[in-house]
Amino acid sequence: MNNAPIALITGASRGIGAAIALKLAAEGFRLALVARNTVDLQAVADQTGLSAADCLCLVADLQQAAEIEKAAALCLEHFGRVDVLVNNAGIGHFGPIQNLTLAQLQAQLQLHVVAGWILSKAVLPQMLAQGNGLLVNILSDAARRPFAGGTAYCASKFAQDGMFRSLQDELKDSCIKISNIYPGLVNTYFNNKVPTAPQPHKLEAHEVAAVVWEVIGNGGSPAERHISRSH
């Protein structure tokens, strides 16, 4: 029987999520990977070197509550438990408020707040029953640092930050640990960009993944971690 720990990772088809998947696979985790793009998701699964039984690809649109709930249920059905939930999926729409749409605001709130809320609610009963569990949430320094052009994005990240910090207080006397990670600029596909050659002021996805592993290895400590490079 395989007792290797289970990590459920959202936004796992590329960027930070893919880097986290590869790092955790290398450290002996079994994985449930969630994203919309089937081809990219399978490519990451192949790169982990894990068998199909140990790396479950869950194609889901995290804008849809029913698909989020289904993905969580399939993960629990397949593995029987989740030891680490990594809420990583994210999108960004930026610009003057008059150029942004209500749909863009709602999409960011749905992905950053609602999806994380639903997934956390789905796995927590099982974590509490098994007597341990860890939620690692990839937020952004924009959760604490508002800026012009960020009315929609910062609103969603401030809300996400408040939600998970409230959950930390809610679970502080339980067996569940929560760690919130606040990266600065990261050289990824975020906001429809294409990764470039390394830049002095940007983090690389593997650097964020290394911090996630550090937090997991420390049992969820620290509860808050800010990572960035000076401009």
153 labelled catalytic: yes
Q: Per the residue annotation, which of 29, 79, 117, 153 is the catalytic one?
A: 153
Supply the DSSP string of the chain, one letter for each residue: -----EEEEESTTSHHHHHHHHHHHHTT-EEEEEES-HHHHHHHHHHHT--TTTEEEEE--TT-HHHHHHHHHHHHHHHS--SEEEE-------S-GGGS-HHHHHHHHIIIIIHHHHHHHHHHHHHHHHT-EEEEEE--GGGT---TT-HHHHHHHHHHHHHHHHHHHHTTTSSEEEEEEEE--BSSSGGG----S--TTSB-HHHHHHHHHHHHHTTS-SSEEEE----
Extract the tokens encoding 170: 């809610």
**With 0-12 CB in 10 A as exposed, 13-18 as middle and 19+ as buried, what is 112?**
buried
Q: Which two tokens stand for residue 123?
A: 């796995």
Q: How far apart are CA 137 and CA 152, in angstroms?
A: 19
Burial class (CB within 10 angstroms; exposed 0-12, middle 13-18, buried 19+) of 123? buried
- The residues carrying an active-site annotation are 153
